[in-house]
A and B are shown apart, each in its own frame.
Chain A
Amino acid sequence: MKKITYIIFFIFFNLSISHSAGSKIDIPKYDWSWKGFFGTYDRSAAQRGFKVYKEVCSGCHSMNLLSYRNLEELGFNEDQIKVIASDYLIEDGPNDEGDMFEREALPSDRFANPYPNNNAARAANNGAYPPDLSLIVKARPKGADYIHSLLLGYNEAPGDFNVPEGMWYNKYMEGHLIAMPSPLSDGAIDYDDGTEPTLNQLSSDVTTFLAWAAEPSLENRKKLGIKVLLFLLVLFILTYISKERIWRDIKH
């Protein structure tokens, strides 16, 4: 049995080193509220992060896998969500006359897209397509640490580094060139709850929001996971004793 345990661990060890292939840029690690066995998303941070997304990111980035109704999981109530949704116009139709028309978004609608289609998004951004942010935290190696670092990584380019027109230097971007200008800065928006809107705060809040958006089932998953592991542990102890007892009479 020991040998088998070694083999399985060796497989995982091998997996983890082979996965670290690629980037040479060191991404700092941060302590996120949702890490660990009992981690949950910090609701107030995520709510503030939604405000950052709404007022800054959503100008260019869509989040088309989310609906306004999902905000309920962040602690917004039904009326607040209706108000948030009604700020957006959604194309609907055709009506009885056969025409498409615009209406206020409902909680059941997906987040409104800033551009009518991908080509329009590209055209408006010098040919660089602003990626959809619904899954961005899961779609990047190092996830939340990377997003947070990236937002903080707009440093002065080193003297010998050539930054072409329409590009910006970013310490944590692969190749150090990014088409998105620094989106956040100290005091970029005001928070309703009086939190100081420093760059670091804005960035970590929006990262929390994006992490939730990418994996909304995380809290349920971990809660159920604890129960399942405890159950299996008890079952293992019982099968262990049963095995010993059943095999006790076997003479070797």
Chain B
Amino acid sequence: MSSKDPHGYKKTLSSPYTGVKGWIDSRLPLIRMMEAEYLKFPVPKSLNYFWSFGGIAMFCLIGLILSGIFLGMHYKPSAAEAFNSVERIMRDVKFGWLVRYLHMNLASFFFIAVYIHIFRALYFGSYKAPRELVFIFGMLMFFLMMGTAFLGYTLPWGQMSYWGATVITNLFSAIPIVGDAILTTLLGDFNVSDATVNRFYVLHWLLAFAIVGLVVFHVITLHMTGSNNPTGMEPQNWDETLSFHPYMTIKDTKAMVLFFMLVAFVLFFYPNIMGHSDNYIRANSMVTPAHIVPEWYFLPFYAILRAIPDKLGGVLAMFGSIALVGLLPWLDTSKVRSCLYRPIWRICILLFALDFFVLMYMGAKPAEGIYVIISRVGTAYWFLFFLVLAPLVGYLETPRQPLTISNFLRDKKALN
């Protein structure tokens, strides 16, 4: 090799460590990376417990993948065998009931953690520059999560699995001209069938690992900018930060143990509370259940779908409502991040959170009478929030001057 290396391609085998650790680290700089990003990584001192939910969500994902691997060893993805193979897991496989209920309930708790995580990002302005990509990767993950959850819900092959899959895949038939062709290609048949459950199983795995891939990007982008915090102000000096370990690790662990206590309580004592009894009836393509309702985490979007009287319009509104969240970094025009210093926007966001719950409730109700009207008002607010309020409030509102992290903590302490 020539002595000149103007672009610095040549890496030197050196490491801050010695011995075996140094040998590995000089060849695979993972150890020094982990130390820099997880032990010494500086985070703002002022984080509250809302910031624990990213870690909680990650552990939910790990739990889901682990339990999924062991369920997959027994599950049979075919119309003839799927329902019985799940029941075999529940009855004959050692601890099969535990693995299955864990997978089932963790999926719901994953959504709970992620919804809180997203709310935190909205409330404290974590989506704003320079963290736009962190937010976009997060929303992409959320979108894939919904896909994974939908595919996974089809697999037990109960009545809700079957009819949920039928209704949701029929959304594609709303696409003009090619809709029906897309639908039959997706299903591999003319209805949800043996071919469908087989491919949904494969895609369920694929999307799950795609989420893992996006977690990596989410974390890389986050570690470029560092964490946001309640003030929305960047740390001014090192005194306003703490090392990730042990301060954040212990704080997050404490929150996580509490969260998983709740998971354990539901898992061991009310394992079916978030499910639907119809899914314990084997799929029957000739009979639709009287009340077909998606899983709770889809309800707000399901309400938006039904609020629009036009088929294609409803589908576009539903997907649009999710896509708009991802565009928030550019729709919100304010320079100030945190809601704590934006009195009007704060009200808008709290109303948005309320709207989310109202729509969730409406999604579970039959589409008739007053429920339709409330769903439409809720849907209107959703779009108003992103398309009108976000740009306008940011423009018109006079925010207060955000406190620095040190002043914020001093005031907080004085309050206590």
Question: Using a CB–CB distance below 8 Å, which chain A residues touch chain B?
Answer: 1, 3-4, 7-8, 10-11, 14-19, 21-22, 37, 65, 70, 131-132, 134-135, 138-141, 143, 174, 214, 216-217, 220-222, 224-226, 228-229, 232-233, 235-236, 239-240, 242-243, 246-247, 250, 252
Q: Please, could you name 7 A-B residue pairs with CB atoms under 8 Å apart, sorted by A?
A: A8-B262, A21-B293, A138-B280, A217-B97, A221-B98, A229-B264, A233-B261
Contacts of B247 in A (CB 8 A): 246-247, 250
* Bound Cα distance from A189 to B354, whole angstroms: 56
Write the chain A residue with the least CB distance to B263.
A232
Contacts of A132 in B (CB 8 A): 282
Write the chain B residue with the least CB distance to A225.
B268
A21/B291 contact (C-beta < 8 A), A15-B296, A239-B250 known: yes
- The B interface, classified by DSSP as helix, strand, loop or mixed, is helix
Q: Is the CB of A232 within 8 A of B280?
A: no
Q: Mark B272-284, 1 if CB is under 8 A from A, else 0.
A: 1110111011100
Most chain A CB atoms below 10 A, which of B98, B265, B269: B269
Find residues 252-271 in chain B having any chain A CB closer than 8 Å to their own CB.
253-255, 257-258, 260-262, 264-265, 267-269, 271
Q: Is the CB of A174 within 8 A of B364?
A: no
Which 4 pairs, one residue from A and one from B, show the smallest C-beta to C-beta distance?
A225-B268, A18-B364, A217-B97, A139-B280
* B4 on interface, CB distance cutoff 8 Å: no
Contacts of B115 in A (CB 8 A): 11
How far, in Å, is A12 (CB) from chain B's closest CB? 8
Which of A15, A138, A225, A239 is within 8 Å of B254, CB to CB?
Answer: A239
Most chain A CB atoms below 10 A, which of B119, B264, B276: B264
Q: Is the CB of B251 within 8 A of A228?
A: no
Write the chain B residue with the least CB distance to A221.
B268
How far, in Å, is A107 (CB) from chain B's closest CB? 14
Which of A17, A141, A216, A232 is within 8 Å of B277, CB to CB?
Answer: A141
A138/B277 contact (C-beta < 8 A), A18-B299, A224-B268 known: yes
Which of A21, A240, A252 is within 8 Å of B365, CB to CB?
Answer: A21
Which of A220, A229, A232, A252 is within 8 Å of B413, CB to CB?
Answer: A252
Please report the total number of B residues contacting A with Cβ < 8 Å.
59
Contacts of A140 in B (CB 8 A): 277
Q: Is the CB of A10 within 8 A of B357?
A: yes
How far, in Å, is A58 (CB) from chain B's closest CB? 19
* B412 on interface, CB distance cutoff 8 Å: yes
* Bound Cα distance from A16 to B246, whole angstroms: 39
* Bound Cα distance from A80 to B290, whole angstroms: 42
Contacts of A221 in B (CB 8 A): 97-98, 101, 268, 271
Contacts of B413 in A (CB 8 A): 252
Stretch of B84-92, B181-189, B334-342, B395-403 that contacts chain A: B84-92
* Bound Cα distance from A7 to B262, whole angstroms: 13
* Bound Cα distance from A224 to B273, whole angstroms: 19
Q: Is the CB of B410 within 8 A of A22?
A: no
Q: Is the CB of B364 within 8 A of A21?
A: yes
* B242 on interface, CB distance cutoff 8 Å: yes
Q: Is the CB of A4 within 8 A of B116?
A: yes
Q: Is the CB of A138 within 8 A of B251?
A: no
* Bound Cα distance from A240 to B49, whole angstroms: 13
* Bound Cα distance from A98 to B87, whole angstroms: 32
Which of A7, A225, A240 is within 8 Å of B116, CB to CB?
Answer: A7
Contacts of A1 in B (CB 8 A): 48-49, 255
Which of A143, A225, A246, A247 is within 8 Å of B264, CB to CB?
Answer: A225
Q: Is the CB of B360 within 8 A of A135?
A: no
Q: Is the CB of A239 within 8 A of B269?
A: no
What 12 new A-B contacts, CB under 8 Å, besides A21-B366, A222-B269?
Answer: A14-B360, A21-B364, A37-B269, A65-B91, A217-B90, A232-B261, A236-B261, A240-B254, A243-B251, A250-B242, A250-B247, A252-B412
How far, in Å, is A95 (CB) from chain B's closest CB? 25
Q: Mark B344-387, 1 if CB is under 8 A from A, else 0.
A: 00000000000001001101111000000000000000000000
Contacts of A247 in B (CB 8 A): 247, 250-251
Q: Is the CB of A229 within 8 A of B296?
A: no
Contacts of B267 in A (CB 8 A): 225
A15/B261 contact (C-beta < 8 A), A21-B291, A65-B84, A229-B268 known: no
